[in-house]
Amino acid sequence: MFKRIMLFLLTNILVITTISIIFSVFGIGNYRTAAGGIDFVQLLIFSAVIGFTGSLISLAMSRWMAKRAMGVRVLKPGSQMTGREQALVDIVHRIARTAGMTHMPEVGIYDSPEVNAFATGPSKRSSLVALSTGLLERMDQDAIEGVIAHEIAHITNGDMVTMTLLQGVVNTFVVFLSRIAAFIVSNLVKREELTQIVHFVCVIVFQIVFSILGSIVVMAFSRYREYHADAGGAAFAGRDKMVHALQSLKQMKDMVDTSQSSLATLKISNRPKMMSLFSSHPDLDDRINRLQNSTH
């Protein structure tokens, strides 16, 4: 199940689990009443602290994690680059300026035969656009510009920040509900000396399970943001180039590497219908039709 979840969400789960363990070990965040029940207001505050801390840390780590996970080689202006690499940097910067960005995103390439690209980073001032070697080798110039414009739109739309806020809310309910569930289960244990151990284990297990369920909400937003990024890409590079890029991706969708499906949010995917709830991207045909039929 974890392999179906995006890198941001996986990092988030690890972060909030680590924070929860640390808080439990040091006894931080007491939400029990004197009578042995739950103070729900205290628990909600405690849950929000853990939830938003986890999502904010995940956001701060997003660009660094993406570089390490995908093996991205950053193309630094002023450094020695090939003609193709310099042209790629120039295209990204040109489209970024068209989109009104004042701080140019980092541009990177990662070695993979898959046809793919992604954008990430904690803010417009600290962002990354990376493309696979497979995409650069198999797509024509117009399609590449459409893909880059789509990724730039993700940055200018502030999608990572919005997703972080949404993830913070989801995390809050995950932490909140997992502790209520753990409290109920631990109270069923007859041996008092095992109550605390059972409660601790149940908190971690329920937290992970509820996080996976909560990812359905996050993935729904991820699919929603793709349509907006397509519209933004059409505005920055032209609708014809954006449609051409999506049509090219549709033809090459079988070249997308699915061996690291935990990185799904970074990738343009076309999952089977049965997995649509956990898909970070909508069906490519739907995206193409929406863009062609849009009035803007």
- For residue 121, give both structure tokens: 């980073």
Q: How many CB atoms lie within 10 A of CB 162?
A: 12
CA-CA distance, 70 to 7, in Å (whole number)? 11
CA-CA distance, 217 to 201, in Å (whole number)? 25
Active site residue 151: yes
Total residues found in the chain within this entry: 296
CA-CA distance, 247 to 16, in Å (whole number)? 39
* Given 106, 114, 145, 151, the catalytic residue: 151
- For residue 81, give both structure tokens: 């680059």
Q: Who contacts 14 (Cβ-Cβ below 8 Å, separation ≥6)?
A: none
- Helices and strands (H, E) in the chain, number of each type: 9, 4
CA dihedral 95, 229, 62, 56 (to 10 degrees): 120
Q: What are phi and psi of 104, to 5 degrees?
A: -70, 135
Residue 199's Cα: distance from chain center in Å? 30
Task: Give the residue numbers annotated as catalytic, written as ranges.
Answer: 151
